[in-house]
């Protein structure tokens, strides 16, 4: 990363290649909804009316468990 005289920042890959200011747009299928459904079916993803619902029932947050699960050095057996 460098800061130009006008205070703008320039970002680079480790090999020095400049990063684009805006990534290129993803190429979309002519019917992106069907394309997503096909990929979901191939991956076994099933989306239904309850997909976005939380399974939390109001129980207390278990901080110890969260650290054990999320922090790689908290559980040396893994």
Q: Domain residue spans in the chain?
A: 6-47
Whether pLDDT at 78 is above 60: no
Whether pLDDT at 57 is above 60: yes
Give the separation between CA 50 and CA 38, rounded to whole angstroms.
20
Q: What is the pTM of this model?
A: 0.38
Report residue 71 as tokens. 């922090």
Q: What would the DSSP string read from start to end of 20-71?
A: PSSPPPPP--SSHHHHHHHHHHHHT----TTTT-----SPPP-HHHHHHHH-
| pLDDT for residue 16 | 93
Tens digits of residue pLDDT in 2-53:
998 998 899 999 999 999 888 778 888 789 899 899 999 999 999 999 998 9
| pLDDT for residue 8 | 87
CB 66 within 8 Å of CB 59: no
DSSP summary character for residue 11: -
């Amino acid at each position: 990363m460098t800061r130009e005289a006008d205070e703008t920042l320039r970002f680079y890959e480790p090999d020095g290649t400049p990063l684009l200011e805006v990534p290129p747009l993803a190429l979309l299928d002519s019917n992106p909804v069907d394309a997503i459904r096909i990929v979901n079916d191939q991956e076994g993803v099933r989306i239904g009316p309850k997909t976005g619902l939380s399974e939390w029932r109001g129980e207390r947050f278990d901080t110890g468990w969260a650290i054990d699960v999320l922090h790689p050095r908290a559980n040396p057996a893994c």
